[in-house]
Structure 1
Amino acid sequence: MHDGPPPPDGAPEQAHGAGADSPIPCNVEAEQALLGAILVNNDVYEQVERLVEPQHFYDPVHERIYELIKNRRAKNLLVSPVTLKPFLEDDPGIAELGGTAYLAYLAGAAVSFSAAKDYGQAIYDMFLRREIMNLGQEIHHRAVTIHPDDDPREQIVKAEQALYGLAEKGRFEGGFKSFVKAAAESVDAANAAYMRDGNLAGISTGLIDLDKQMGGLHPSDLIILAGRPSMGKTTLATNIAFNIARDWREGEKPDGTYGTIDGGKVGFFSLEMSAEQLATRVLSEAARVPSHKLRRGDMTEDEFARFVEAARELERMPLYIDDTPALPISTVAARARRLKRQHGLDLLVIDYLQLLRPATAKDSRVNEVSEITQGLKAIAKELDIPVIALSQLSRQVESREDKRPQLSDLRESGSIEQDADVVMFVFREEYYREREKPSETEHEKMMSWQELMEQVRGKAEVILGKQRHGPIGSVELSFEGEFTKFGNLAKEDQRGIEYE
Structure 2
Amino acid sequence: MGLRRAQALRTERGKQGAFVGGEASGLGPDGGTSSRQAEAELQDERDLLSAMTRSRAVVADVLNIVSAGDFRSPAHGLVFLAVLEAYAGDGPLDPAAVSAALAGRGDLEAIGGGAAFDKVMSADARAGRAVKRAHRVRQAAVRRRLAEAAAVIDHAVASDAPIDDVIDLAENTVLSATDPDQVLEVPPFCDVLEGALDEIEAIGSRAGLMSGVPTDFADLDALTNGLHPGQLIVIGARPAMGKSTLGLDLLRSCTIRNAMPAALFTLEMGRNEVSMRLLSAEARIALHHMRSGSMTEDDWTRLARRMPDVTGAPLYVDDSARTLTEIRSKCRRLKQKRDIKLIVVDYVQLLDYGLRQFASRYEEINEISRHLKLMAKELDIPVVAISQLNRGPEQRTDKRPQTYDLRDSGTLEDDADLLILLHRDDAYEKESLRAGEADLIVAKHRNGPTATITVAFQGHYSRFVDMTRD
Q: What is the TM-score normalised by the length of structure 1?
A: 0.64
5 Å-filtered alignment, 1:481-492, equals 481-490=459-468
Instruction: Supply the distance in 2 between the matched residues of 1:232 and 1:332 (Cα, whole angstroms).
Output: 23
5 Å-filtered alignment, 1:331-350, equals 331-350=326-345
Change (3 A) 1:346 1:293: same
Aligned mate of 1:233, from 230, 234, 243: 243
Deviations along 1:362-397, whole A, 9 cap, x unmatched? 111122112211211121111110000000111011
Amino acid at match of 1:488: D
Instruction: Supply the distance in 2 between the matched residues of 1:367 and 1:357 (Cα, whole angstroms).
Output: 11
Deviations along 1:391-428, whole A, 9 cap, x unmatched? 01110111111111111111234221222111111111
Q: Per-residue deviation at 1:298?
A: 0.6
Q: Per-residue deviation at 1:58?
A: 6.5
Matched residue of 2:289: which SS? helix
Greater shift in the superposed pair: 333-342 or 157-166: 157-166
Amino acid at match of 1:464: V
1:118 is matched with which residue?
none
1:309 is matched with which residue?
305
Amino acid at match of 2:339: G
2:324 is matched with which residue?
329
**Are 2:230 and 1:220 aligned?**
yes
Amino acid at match of 1:163: V
Instruction: Supply the distance in 2 between the matched residues of 1:241 and 1:61 (Cα, whole angstroms).
Output: 49
Matched residue of 1:433: which SS? coil
Change (3 A) 1:217 1:174: farther
Matched residue of 2:439: which SS? strand
Instruction: Supply the distance in 1 between the matched residues of 2:220 and 2:184 (Cα, whole angstroms).
Output: 32
Deviations along 1:2-60, whole A, 9 cap, x unmatched? xxxxxxxxxxxxxxx99845279669999xx9xxxxxxxxxxxxxxxxx999xx99789
Show structure 1 runs of 5+ residues with no match. Answer: 1-16, 34-50, 63-102, 113-121, 250-263, 435-448, 492-500
Instruction: Supply the distance in 1 between the matched residues of 2:152 and 2:195 (Cα, whole angstroms).
Output: 41
Aligned mate of 2:181, from 120, 145, 170: 170
Aligned mate of 1:320, from 313, 316, 321: 316
Q: Per-residue deviation at 1:291?
A: 0.4
**Are 2:133 and 1:130 aligned?**
no
Instruction: Supply the distance in 1 between the matched residues of 2:43 and 2:411 (Cα, whole angstroms).
Output: 48
Amino acid at match of 1:275: R
5 Å-filtered alignment, 1:99-498, equals 105-106=109-110, 109=113, 128-135=142-149, 160-172=171-183, 174-179=185-190, 181-196=191-206, 198-249=208-259, 264-324=260-320, 327-359=322-354, 360-434=356-430, 453-454=432-433, 456-490=434-468
Matched residue of 1:334: which SS? helix
Question: Do 1:160 and 1:338's aligned partners in 2 also have CA atoms closer than 8 Å?
Answer: no
Change (3 A) 1:185 1:159: closer
Show structure 2 runs of 5+ residues with no match. Answer: 1-32, 50-66, 77-106, 118-135
Question: Do 1:235 and 1:485's aligned partners in 2 also have CA atoms closer than 8 Å?
Answer: yes
Instruction: Supply the distance in 2 between the matched residues of 1:412 and 1:176 (Cα, whole angstroms).
Output: 38
Instruction: Supply the distance in 2 between the matched residues of 1:141 and 1:178 (Cα, whole angstroms).
Output: 36
Deviations along 1:289-335, whole A, 9 cap, x unmatched? 0101011221110111111232232110001100115x221111000
Change (3 A) 1:406 1:27: farther
Instruction: Supply the distance in 2 between the matched residues of 1:304 and 1:369 (Cα, whole angstroms).
Output: 43
Change (3 A) 1:311 1:350: same
Matched residue of 1:460: which SS? strand
Instruction: Supply the distance in 1 between the matched residues of 2:399 and 2:212 (Cα, whole angstroms).
Output: 31
Instruction: Supply the distance in 1 between the matched residues of 2:149 and 2:40 (Cα, whole angstroms).
Output: 14
Instruction: Supply the distance in 2 between the matched residues of 1:372 and 1:344 (Cα, whole angstroms).
Output: 23
Amino acid at match of 1:130: R
Instruction: Supply the distance in 1 between the matched residues of 2:274 and 2:328 (Cα, whole angstroms).
Output: 21
Question: Do 2:45 and 2:71's aligned partners in 1 also have CA atoms closer than 8 Å?
Answer: no
Instruction: Supply the distance in 1 between the matched residues of 2:388 and 2:72 (Cα, whole angstroms).
Output: 53
Change (3 A) 1:186 1:138: closer
Q: What is the TM-score normalised by the length of structure 2?
A: 0.68
Question: Do 2:41 and 2:137's aligned partners in 1 also have CA atoms closer than 8 Å?
Answer: no
Question: Do 1:425 and 1:462's aligned partners in 2 also have CA atoms closer than 8 Å?
Answer: yes
Change (3 A) 1:166 1:419: farther
Question: Do 2:365 and 2:409's aligned partners in 1 also have CA atoms closer than 8 Å?
Answer: no
Change (3 A) 1:25 1:223: farther
Q: Per-residue deviation at 1:338?
A: 1.3
Superposition RMSD on alpha carbons, in Å?
4.1
Change (3 A) 1:139 1:311: farther
Change (3 A) 1:174 1:155: closer
Change (3 A) 1:109 1:60: closer
Change (3 A) 1:300 1:336: same
Q: Per-residue deviation at 1:239?
A: 0.6
Change (3 A) 1:284 1:23: farther
Change (3 A) 1:160 1:460: same
Change (3 A) 1:286 1:361: same
Amino acid at match of 2:338: H
Question: Do 2:145 and 2:178's aligned partners in 1 also have CA atoms closer than 8 Å?
Answer: no
Matched residue of 1:426: which SS? strand
Matched residue of 2:38: which SS? coil
Q: Per-residue deviation at 1:191?
A: 3.9
Matched residue of 1:317: which SS? coil
Amino acid at match of 2:336: R
Matched residue of 2:400: which SS? coil
Instruction: Supply the distance in 1 between the matched residues of 2:297 and 2:350 (Cα, whole angstroms).
Output: 40
Deviations along 1:123-151, whole A, 9 cap, x unmatched? 998654312234568889999x9xxxx99
Aligned length: 365
Question: Do 1:354 and 1:392's aligned partners in 2 also have CA atoms closer than 8 Å?
Answer: yes
Question: Do 1:28 and 1:59's aligned partners in 2 also have CA atoms closer than 8 Å?
Answer: no
Instruction: Supply the distance in 1 between the matched residues of 2:43 and 2:393 (Cα, whole angstroms).
Output: 65
Matched residue of 2:313: which SS? coil
